Amino acid sequence: MSKTRAELINQCLTNLGVIASGQSIDADLVLKMDGFIDPAAALLARLDIYYVQDVGSAGPIDGAIEDEAFLPLADWIANKACSGFNLPADQKMQALAMLAEDTLRTLAAPARTLRTLRIDPALTTPRRGIYRGGFW
On whether residue 118 sits in a domain, the answer given is: no
CATH of the domain at 98: 1.10.3230.20
Q: Using the predicted structure, report yes or no on whether residue 136 has a pLDDT greater than 60.
A: no
Query: In what helix (H) or strand (E) does residue 36 lie, and over which residues does it extend?
Result: helix 27-46
pTM: 0.73
On whether residue 31 sits in a domain, the answer given is: yes
- Exposure string over 65-93, b if 16+ CB within 10 A, otherwise e: beeebebbbbbbbbbbbbeebeeeeeeeb
Q: How many domains does the chain have?
A: 1
On whether residue 26 sits in a domain, the answer given is: yes
Instruction: Determine contact, residues 36/81, Cβ cutoff 8 Å.
Output: yes
Instruction: Determine contact, residues 24/91, Cβ cutoff 8 Å.
Output: no
On whether residue 86 sits in a domain, the answer given is: yes
Q: Give pLDDT tens digits for 92-108.
A: 888 988 999 889 888 88
On whether residue 88 sits in a domain, the answer given is: yes
Q: Which structural domain range is residue 23 located in?
A: 5-108
On whether residue 36 sits in a domain, the answer given is: yes
Q: Give pLDDT tens digits for 46-84.
A: 988 888 887 777 777 777 888 888 899 999 999 988 888
Answer with the residue of higher pLDDT: 107 or 130. 107
On whether residue 121 sits in a domain, the answer given is: no
On whether residue 37 sits in a domain, the answer given is: yes
